[in-house]
């Protein structure tokens, strides 16, 4: 079987889709599936619309020698990949790791409700409705929609997709070369609280910064380290300087190996999101044996068993978040338990398991 993968990101780009694309490229050939990759980054230099037309043309050319096409997002790569597959009469698959319409609406069009409320809302701004229509049309055109969590299966079903047409395949962590800590981190005091993610509203970074003001009342040497890039970077830097007189550092984007080195060095890893499909970063933090604190939202409870391999806190509750961080820092025995159980629980998210499930899904429908 010859598979063409249309991916929005590929290493050294950060993010789950980049990691996922690389794993499939490496693992599927050993399971009888030859892989060709077409990266959207190859056309990103062109103006909007033009880049999608160019990408569609490249997909048609590459797709002629393929038996199936898999897109790793439902809009930027998914829409042109779906059109190419339809033109070439090839089986089409799409992976959905979030609601693109909601994400764009939150960043650009004033959407303020949670994803769970958004998928039940009928009337949204026209631009957001266009994104809704595209992602739904692409999902409806796929032989099956691959999602990384049961939570996202439920979200996609709210688009009008039959749950029988949605396949859950959990993401995996891939071992990489040893990274290095940024020079600005070396020599900082401890404990070190680390968070990583795209700097967008739903990642909850302001709430984490606020929680750290309480943590530093009991642990004056505590340091908050945030790695990532995004539209909120400048605003978060100003907010951090205003709220944390010491011990707050935004590191900007890091290469993936260095991100893993930062997590490995952490005393606690925190994910304060108001939404997560299934966090690749949580899987990585668990695999690295870090005490993890995350919000009880989206796919997080599918990864974290509260009190056993991590702690779950209510969404938006900055007091509960601060209390959870202080609790872990004060209780060495519980911290050790969380770390040991985290590493064991991450074993089910292996690259072999993900590749096996993906290969079985693709061959079942082709």
194: β partners: 225, 269
Whole-number pLDDT of residue 1: 95
Percent of the chain having pLDDT more than 90? 86
Whole-number pLDDT of residue 190: 94
pLDDT above 80: residue 14: no
Please work out, in degrees rounded to the nearest 5, the angle formed at the alpha carbon of residue 108 by the alpha carbons of 156 and 197: 70
| End-to-end Cα distance, the chain | 9
**pLDDT class of 19 with cuts at 50, 70, 90:** confident
Long-range contacts of 333-340 (CB under 8 A, 24+ apart): 335/291, 337/308, 338/291, 338/292, 338/308, 338/309, 338/310, 338/311, 339/289, 339/290, 339/291, 340/289
Lateral strand order in the sheet of 92-95: 34-39, 2-7, 68-71, 92-95, 145-147, 166-168
281-292 mean pLDDT: 94
Q: Are 261 and 268 within 8 A, CB to CB?
A: no
**pLDDT class of 246 with cuts at 50, 70, 90:** confident
For residue range 173-185, list pLDDT tens digits in order. Answer: 776 677 999 999 9
Whole-number pLDDT of residue 358: 97
CATH number given to 192-348: 3.40.50.2000
Residue intervals of the chain classified under CATH 3.40.50.2000 are 2-172+350-365, 192-348
pLDDT above 90: residue 248: no
For residue range 300-356, list pLDDT tens digits in order. Answer: 999 999 999 999 999 999 999 999 999 999 999 999 999 999 988 998 888 999 999
Task: Report the alpha-carbon distance of residue 335 to residue 126 in Å, rounded.
Answer: 48
CATH number given to 2-172+350-365: 3.40.50.2000
Whole-number pLDDT of residue 185: 94
pLDDT above 80: residue 76: yes
Let me know if 246 is exposed, middle or buried by CB neighbors in 10 A (0-12, 13-18, 19+): exposed
pTM here is: 0.87
Q: Mean pLDDT across the chain, nearest whole number?
A: 94
**pLDDT class of 159 with cuts at 50, 70, 90:** very high
For residue range 186-197, list pLDDT tens digits in order. Answer: 889 999 999 999
């Amino acid at each position: 079987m010859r598979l063409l993968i249309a991916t929005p990101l590929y290493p050294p780009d950060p993010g789950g889709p980049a990691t996922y694309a690389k794993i499939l490229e490496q693992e599927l050939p050993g399971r009888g599936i030859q892989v060709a990759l077409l990266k959207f980054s190859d056309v990103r230099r062109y103006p909007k619309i033009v880049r999608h037309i160019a990408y569609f043309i490249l997909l048609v050319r590459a797709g002629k020698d393929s038996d199936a096409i898999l897109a790793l997002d439902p809009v930027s790569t998914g829409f042109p990949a779906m059109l190419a597959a339809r033109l070439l009469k090839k089986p089409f698959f799409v992976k959905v790791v979030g609601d693109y319409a909601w994400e764009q609406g939150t960043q650009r069009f004033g959407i303020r409700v949670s994803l769970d409320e958004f998928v039940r809302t009928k009337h949204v701004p026209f631009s957001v409705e266009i994104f809704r229509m595209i992602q739904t049309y692409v999902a409806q055109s796929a032989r099956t929609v691959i999602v990384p969590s049961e939570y996202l299966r439920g979200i996609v079903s709210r688009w009008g997709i039959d749950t029988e047409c949605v396949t859950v395949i959990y993401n995996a962590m891939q071992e990489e070369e040893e990274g290095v800590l940024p020079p600005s981190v070396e020599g900082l005091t401890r404990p070190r609280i680390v968070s990583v993610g795209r700097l967008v509203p739903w990642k909850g970074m302001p709430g984490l910064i606020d929680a750290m003001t309480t943590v530093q009342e009991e642990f004056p040497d505590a340091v908050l380290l945030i790695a990532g890039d995004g539209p909120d970077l400048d605003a978060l830097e100003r907010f951090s300087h205003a709220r944390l007189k010491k011990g707050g550092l935004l590191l900007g984007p890091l290469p993936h190996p260095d991100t893993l080195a930062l997590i490995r060095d952490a005393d606690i890893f925190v994910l304060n999101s108001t939404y997560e499909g299934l966090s690749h970063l949580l899987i990585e933090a668990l695999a690295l044996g870090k005490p993890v604190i995350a919000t009880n939202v989206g796919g997080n409870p599918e990864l974290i068993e509260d009190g056993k391999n991590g702690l779950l806190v209510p969404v938006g509750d900055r007091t509960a978040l601060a209390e959870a961080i202080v609790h872990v820092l004060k209780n060495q025995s519980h911290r050790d338990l969380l770390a040991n159980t985290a590493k064991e629980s991450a074993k089910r998210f292996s690259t072999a398991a993900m590749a096996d499930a993906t290969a079985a899904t693709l061959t079942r429908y082709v």
